[in-house]
Amino acid sequence: MKIVVTGSSGQVGSYLVEHFSKDHDVTGLDNRQCPYPDAAKFTKAVDIAKERDLSRFLKNADWVIHCAAQVSVERAMKDPLFDAENNVIGTVNLLWNSFRHEARNFLHVSSAAVYGDPIRVPLGEDHPTNPLSPYGISKLCGEKYVMAFATAYGLSVSVVRPFNIYSGRADPKSPYSGVVTKFISRAAEGKPLLIEGDGKQTRDFVHISDVVKLMSLIVKKPNMSLGRIFNCGTGKGSTILELAELVQSLSKKKVEIKHIAPRQGDIKQSRADISAARDLLGYAPGTELREGIGELMR
């Protein structure tokens, strides 16, 4: 199969390029230099939000997997125009090129941020979408465009909503890194693990291998996945305090856990309902949190 992966220099896209290139003809697209050698050799320098003609990449592609995005909630709050240009205009341009150049299937990587503050947990795909930030709004807008292209132009589409992804490729130096990366980085330096509030907030932490697993199942089973939205998580919730205690127990250095002021507007409970992916695709997450964290701390 011919597979095009956007955002191939990023956390998710780079792993997908490496995975699919073992058996398929893969091209990665990104406007940043790829730091991962095995993905870099398949990556072309392209800004999908600005380059109007992508025919040389997308012509007759079997799958376009759209990972490219501005992923920082904080940056979206400070610069919503930049966020919209990347997450909305980039998505629309890619969809339009996919249709024009006869790409067969389009897989859009969205975010659990589209849900906003949950009114019930676990969150199924039918949960109301009320995003709390420009980032969440732009990701939901991208989803709406994807589904509109399916209706208006007959493009075959699927959407994945990942929850809290963690991997060895999240940048610990970035102020926008997830809590897993921040805790592990601070533990390696012997610094206290800082918990905002009481630490009873729950999150569904999903290892990158399980994210790749779900997307691979979608590609393998298009008849079961097209036109559908799938949550990507573990179906299990872990508190931030439990995460801190796990990192503390696995750390080679003695680290403290400290509570600081709660973050304003922080979501208290978040956990994915993964029954749709399980029942339709046979998805079963295989990496437990202790195993995944231990792997990152070796």
Could you give all domains of the chain from N- to C-terminal order, each with its CATH number? 2-165+206-232 (3.40.50.720), 166-203+236-272+287-296 (3.90.25.10)
Residue 74, pLDDT score = 81
pLDDT (tens digit per residue) in 237-277: 999 999 999 999 999 999 999 999 998 778 899 999 999 99
**CA 267 to CA 64: how far, in whole Å?**
32
Q: In which residue are the tokens 């790409």 written?
A: 103
**Is 135 a residue of the active site?**
yes
**CA 203 to CA 123: how far, in whole Å?**
11
Residue 142, pLDDT score = 98
Please tell me which residue in 36, 135, 145, 166 is annotated as part of the active site: 135
Is the bond preceding residue 122 a cis peptide, omega within 30 degrees?
yes
Percentage, residues of the chain above pLDDT 90: 92
Residue 73, pLDDT score = 78
Query: Do 217 and 281 contact (CB within 8 A), yes or no?
Result: yes
Residue 179, pLDDT score = 94
Give the count of beta carbons closer than 10 Å to the beta carbon of residue 151: 10
Mean pLDDT of the chain: 95
Q: For the chain, what is the largest distance between any 2 Cα atoms, rounded to a whole number of angstroms?
A: 58
Structure tokens at 181: 């990366």
Q: Is 90 helix (H, G, I), strand (E, B) or coil?
A: helix
Residue 92, amino acid: V
Query: 62-84: string of b/e by CB count within 10 Å (b at 16+)?
Result: ebbbbbbbbbbbebbeeeeeebb
Structure tokens at 172: 């610990």
Closest CA to 260 of 205, 201, 193: 193
Determine the distance from the C-alpha atom of residue 89 to the mean position of all C-alpha atoms in its chain, rounded to a whole number: 18
pLDDT (tens digit per residue) in 105-127: 999 999 999 999 999 999 999 99
Q: In which residue are the tokens 């390029």 written?
A: 17
How do the pLDDT tens digits run along the chain, 298 residues long? 999 999 999 999 999 999 999 999 999 999 999 999 999 999 999 999 999 999 999 999 999 999 999 888 788 889 999 999 999 999 999 999 999 999 999 999 999 999 999 999 999 999 999 999 999 999 999 999 999 999 999 999 999 999 999 999 987 766 556 899 999 999 999 999 999 999 999 999 999 999 999 999 999 999 999 999 999 999 999 999 999 999 999 999 999 999 999 987 788 999 999 999 999 999 999 999 999 999 999 9
pTM above 0.85, yes or no: yes
